[in-house]
Amino acid sequence: MGEHSKTTFPQEILDRWTGSGLDLNALFSAGHLGERMSVTVVEASPERVVGTMPVEGNTQPYGLLHGGASAVLAETLGSVGAMLHGGPTRIAVGVDLNCTHHRGVRSGLVTGVATPVHRGRTSATYEIVITDEQDRRVCSARLTCVIREQATG
């Protein structure tokens, strides 16, 4: 299963979220879908989010990494970056995801790195580059999230 307990957060993020009453590791994990796909968020900050996913178990009928699996990894990493950018009182909701698949992968681990293209008050866009174990680009993705205040009960 995917693991979120190994995520490394910079001290400034830990300080910013202290006292929020939220479990930072759980909130910025891959979620239930990511867990089923064994996505692991390794490093997380508004400037850079890194995660991995095995190819095995995430393939299409031809034995290649499923494009939808790459999309799940990309949206997970970009969303984590946007949420961290928004801060503890705001949420980020993905509104546009674009993925271009460059090469097939049949085995091993893929790594995604999300970096910001735009971080504003009401939206954030991240570029996510997914590579194979030989550091060859497998997928280029772009995610835009709307950032809004959390609804209070």
Which positions are catalytic? Answer: 75
Provide CB contacts within 8 A for 50, sequence distance 6+: 41, 42, 43, 44, 77, 111, 112, 113, 114
Backbone angles phi, psi at 114, to 5 degrees: -105, 130
Which residue do the tokens 């299963």 mark? 1
Residue of 87, 66, 97 whose CA lies nearest to 147: 87
CA 33 to chain centre: 12
Under DSSP, the state recorded for 62 is T
